[in-house]
Amino acid sequence: MRNKGPKIIILTASYGNGHLQVANSLYQECIRRGYDNVKICNLYTESHPFISEVTEKLYSKSFTYGKQFYKLFYYGTDFIQNKKMLRWYYQYGFKRLTSLIETEEPDILINTFPINAVPEFRRRTGIVIPTFNIITDYCLHSLWLHDDIDKYYVASNELKAKIHSRGVTESKVVVSGIPIRPSFSQSLDKSMLFDKYQISPKKDLILLIAGAHGVLKNIKETCETLLLKTDHQLAVVCGKNHSLRNEMAQLENKYRDRLHCFGYLERIDELYRIASVMVTKPGGITLTEATATGTPLILYMPVPGQEKENARFFSEKGAALTAKNQEELLNSIDSLLKSKQKQLSLQLSIKKLYLPSSQEMIMTDILKESEKISRMKNHSTIKSQKKKLGS
């Protein structure tokens, strides 16, 4: 039986959960269209499992102990414009990628992480496979840029302008938004959600998102202070950090009517919708999810790198508050919940940043662009063959 649709490989990496989520959103969109020859490949994990495991752990530590190291890496590699100096990075995963292309013979390659082994394959071999980058933050890092990327999909006009300023043709950059789970675009009854989670609609709810790996700092201490000094309700999502979940259990038992703790939640959008304010790390996916629900944001202790740049963008847009320490966080929560006008202002500003149906727009454009590239490639091949025959 013949497979339906083009062969698509979506390449991603495990440095944070966002890249994987975007890859899965695009995969689900392909399945929705009836394409059955689509594969997600975590290239670095498949290429160098031990090195990937170590570097992923170092990345997660960058949110706590290794801030200066990550700052040096992030801004250092962004500053390097000489591609020869980054050749080591272009090599990473190249052997596995070559094997994957030889085995799968894909029609389309999509990056949800800046994997430069992909455009390097074209540069070295001359084999043209339509290649696309989905930038998963609201800021630009030069590792995303390469001459042999056919198109970029970005979250904002400002990001498009930055890429254009680096010498990329405007037509190669599409302002699409960042793909998120379709559940965020659903219309739900809030009263039903309050009942589902046994949360009172009569009191403000502070939602604290620890992140996929539970890296938000001082959660327990922050919760204790808020529970003692206010009568607000708190919902804490610990992600996959089981030790944090266990740590919060005793506090949850003490304040059972006001504190609600969760591990990983597939339908986290439901809590976004009923929260009066959300405290989180400024990851690209979490921010995009909040634009869909209009949840007022406080971005807590962003680390240097994409977090800091994402936080700066949202703050400048009036779409979030930023707190550098616990005292600032507590003051921001207090002032925000005392002012419905401030909450409304944040809601209106963040909703302006939302671009719906991103995965649909991206896949439609990718399919159209890849057909155009394939036609040009075939035309070039025929022209070359005719020239040889003529000689």
Domains of the chain: 8-177+357-390 (3.40.50), 182-351 (3.40.50.2000)
Do residues 345 and 339 lie in contact, with contact meaning Cβ atoms separated by under 8 Å?
A: no
Rounded to 10 deg, the angle between the 219-229 and 326-337 helix axes is 40
Q: What is the pLDDT of residue 77?
A: 59
For residue 11, the SS3 value is: strand
C-alpha span between 203 and 60 (Å, rounded): 34
Q: What is the pLDDT of residue 305?
A: 87
As a whole number of Å, the CA-based R_g of the chain is 23
Alpha-helical (H) ranges within the chain are 18-32, 43-47, 49-61, 67-79, 87-91, 94-104, 117-125, 157-165, 190-196, 219-229, 242-254, 269-274, 284-293, 306-316, 326-337, 340-351, 358-390
Give per-residue pLDDT as tens, 52-65: 454 445 445 555 55
Q: What is the pLDDT of residue 125?
A: 92
Q: What one-character-per-residue DSSP string does 146-194 give? A: -TT--EEEES-HHHHHHHHHTT--GGGEEE------GGGGS---HHHHH
Q: What is the pLDDT of residue 210?
A: 86
Q: Tokens for 172?
A: 């190669």
Q: What is the pLDDT of residue 169?
A: 97
Question: What is the phi/psi pair of residue 149, to 5°?
Answer: -95, 130
Q: What is the pLDDT of residue 382?
A: 44
Q: Tokens for 325?
A: 């320490």
* Adjacency order of strands within the sheet including 38-42: 38-42, 8-12, 108-111, 131-134, 151-154, 173-175
Do residues 280 and 238 lie in contact, with contact meaning Cβ atoms separated by under 8 Å?
A: no
CB atoms within 10 A of CB 389: 7
**Residue 376, CA atoms < 13 Å, CB-side half-sphere:** 10
Q: Which residues of the chain have pLDDT under 70?
A: 1-3, 15-16, 45-90, 92, 212-215, 378-391
Do residues 146 and 48 lie in contact, with contact meaning Cβ atoms separated by under 8 Å?
A: no
